[in-house]
Structure 1
Amino acid sequence: MPANGEYIALPARNSSEELLEETRLDGSRARSTTRYETSTNDRLIFWAAVGVACSTAFSAVLFFITVFFPPNVAVAPSRITTGVPRRPNPYVYLDRILANTTQKFPPITNFPPVALQFDNADPKRRMREEERGRPTEFGTVYPDDRHILVTDKVSTVVQFRHIDYAMERCVLNITIPQQDGHFDPAVTLTDPSMVDVWVLDAPMELSRYISGTLERAPQRRELLTTLTVSRSESSHSSEFHCSSGEFTTLELVCSPSHPNCNIDFWQDQRAKPIGGLHIVQQSSLSPTTT
């Protein structure tokens, strides 16, 4: 109680109003104004509770509607197809750029990246790949050599991918490869030998990375040509269309008119001079005159 006997009421505990007192320099105490403060924590707790309640109510309503009134939504068809996997087109809009060109492009020599054999007596035409792997101190090395083997018992399947744009005039060529200091074709040949070349019904790529494509030889579609294979000269087919980026799959089999053929050699696309089984692609652009 102050010295003058005046009674000062104390603020209630936990009240939002507090009576503040200041101490003067002379030691006397004076009554100060009252500060009104609103508790921030109380407001946050209140609005948080309101938010939780609203969210819970909204979730309950959605659950009720979903269970008792399921929406009739049509499911969009899947974009994943079970058809033939295709590579992306690397030549987008190139046709517009070369629409009025007079440029002439040199021919391309294209070797098959895949050469597989199967036994003619096998009704399932199960294929196998023969290779020239050799052990080294770093492990087994597999060169790019491809085996071409055609006898009365064995046939060979090769596949070409048509490279570059608008090089769609193709000719199949076979030339017995020659030995050089780095490559031995190991040629065995009945000279001459007659070989039927069949186009197979295989629009997709033959690859070890595509399951099932290397298991069986595809069925024959049409006879492309009959080649006479000789050491003295090369043999080639007539011209056929080969769409850019697509594949041509061929089967080499002894011609029925000459069943005792025997063609056995290895080929490497890097060997010089050029030899083996390959296609020559020529430009299919039609130059325009201005």
Structure 2
Amino acid sequence: MSSERIPHDEHIALLHNGENGSQDFDEEYLHHPAASKRQRPAWYRPEGRSSTLTWVLALIVIVAATDGIALLYMSRIMNTVYADLSTDELDFANPYHGLDTLYGSGKIKSSKIDPIQNIPRDVAQVFPDRPKELAPVGEHDLFNKVFGTLSPHEKHLSVSPNVHTIAQVRALDYGMEECSLVIQLPGSGDRIEGNEPFRFNQLSVFDVYRLDAPKPLDVRKLSYSTKPPVKERVASLTLKGGEENLVTTFPCPWGTLHTFEVVCGEDSDCLVDIWSSQNTTYGIYMYQHQTI
């Protein structure tokens, strides 16, 4: 049986033609429209993902920087334009210019002036058994639809073993610079305004201390732990209802502040609880007496 043999050179030619044909086919396939549609998107390829991540991070940085600048700007506005400036550090203006020279000359004779009643600018309670509890503020405030929140002209004197009362008074009038501190309680026949009861233990003994407070009190921050330090004890006394009980007398140059604390005397189970009103002045206050 005879067979034809393909020359060796022809085998080589066919192999070369096959390789060349395969390469040509691959190139044509890659450029074919169908093949382009099957390619991965740019963002999915490694180099595309790196570029997209860079832009996202840059955008985040820009937004964060913008927010930070805006917050700093708003903080500056709140600390300058809308700052809650206190007047406590300002000097108390002198409305009596020239009066020292006028009365010191001896050419002017002063008129007779009766003692002036001076109501404390602040009266508040602190609690030794709850040293961080803030003093009550606006206990009798009420809301009116027409006028809004109303604060009645009332002061509260409340003293017991676990309650102290702090009162601060400013002496204002020129030439009325001798002061007397008093505590007044209603008598048995006196009418008590309002709904608050009057409570009083007649056997009570009270101690009154002067506090070292040259600046106005901030009642909103006042507590037993933040109250001014004690300077001296000025009186220890029992109180009588229906009359003014003198606590102490002291010089009070105009414009000066005087702060007192009323507490139970040692070993005394004391109790007093009374509110003043628009028409009655119960509790603690002082008189200014003429000195020129």
Deviation at 1:123? 4.6
Match for residue 272 of structure 2 among 263, 270, 284? 263
C-alpha RMSD over aligned residues: 2.7
| Counterpart code for 2:234 | L
Deviation readout 1:81-102 (Å, 9 max, x if unpaired) = xx94331112121112222224
Match for residue 206 of structure 1 among 194, 204, 217? 217
SS of the residue corresponding to residue 252 of structure 1 reads strand
Deviation at 1:204? 0.6
Unaligned runs of 5+ in 1: 1-82, 286-290
**In structure 2, what is the equivalent of residue 189 of structure 1?**
200
Q: 1:124 to 1:92 in 2, by over 3 A?
A: farther
Q: 1:226 to 1:152 in 2, by over 3 A?
A: same
Match for residue 238 of structure 1 among 248, 254, 258? 248
Deviation readout 1:190-213 (Å, 9 max, x if unpaired) = 1132211111010011246xxx86
| Counterpart code for 1:235 | N
**In structure 2, what is the equivalent of residue 169 of structure 1?**
178
Deviation readout 1:55-114 (Å, 9 max, x if unpaired) = xxxxxxxxxxxxxxxxxxxxxxxxxxxx94331112121112222224322110011121
Deviation at 1:252? 0.8
Correspondence 1:226 to 2:248? no
Correspondence 1:141 to 2:146? no
Deviation readout 1:94-146 (Å, 9 max, x if unpaired) = 11222222432211001112111111124558534352112333333220111
> For the residues of structure 1 that align with 2:100 and 2:196, how far apart are their CA atoms?
40
| Counterpart code for 1:131 | E
Conserved 8 A contact 1:177-1:276: no
Q: TM-score, normalised by structure 2?
A: 0.60
Deviation at 1:232? 4.3
Q: TM-score, normalised by structure 1?
A: 0.61
Calculate percent identity across the aligned residue pairs: 29
SS of the residue corresponding to residue 100 of structure 2 reads helix
Q: 1:192 to 1:213 in 2, by over 3 A?
A: same
**In structure 2, what is the equivalent of residue 118 of structure 1?**
126
Conserved 8 A contact 2:186-2:243: no
Q: 1:125 to 1:249 in 2, by over 3 A?
A: farther
Correspondence 1:279 to 2:286? yes
Aligned length: 198
Correspondence 1:154 to 2:163? yes
Deviation at 1:183? 4.8
Of Structure 1 and Structure 2, which has the larger fraction of its residues in strand?
Answer: 1
Of Structure 1 and Structure 2, which has the larger fraction of its residues in helix?
Answer: 2
Conserved 8 A contact 1:188-1:262: yes
**In structure 2, what is the equivalent of residue 92 of structure 1?**
97
> For the residues of structure 1 that align with 2:134 and 2:193, how far apart are their CA atoms?
33
Unaligned runs of 5+ in 2: 1-87
Conserved 8 A contact 1:173-1:235: yes
**In structure 1, what is the equivalent of residue 111 of structure 2?**
103
| Counterpart code for 2:143 | P
Conserved 8 A contact 2:135-2:221: no
> For the residues of structure 2 that align with 1:220 and 1:145, how far apart are their CA atoms?
26
> For the residues of structure 1 that align with 2:265 and 2:192, how far apart are their CA atoms?
34
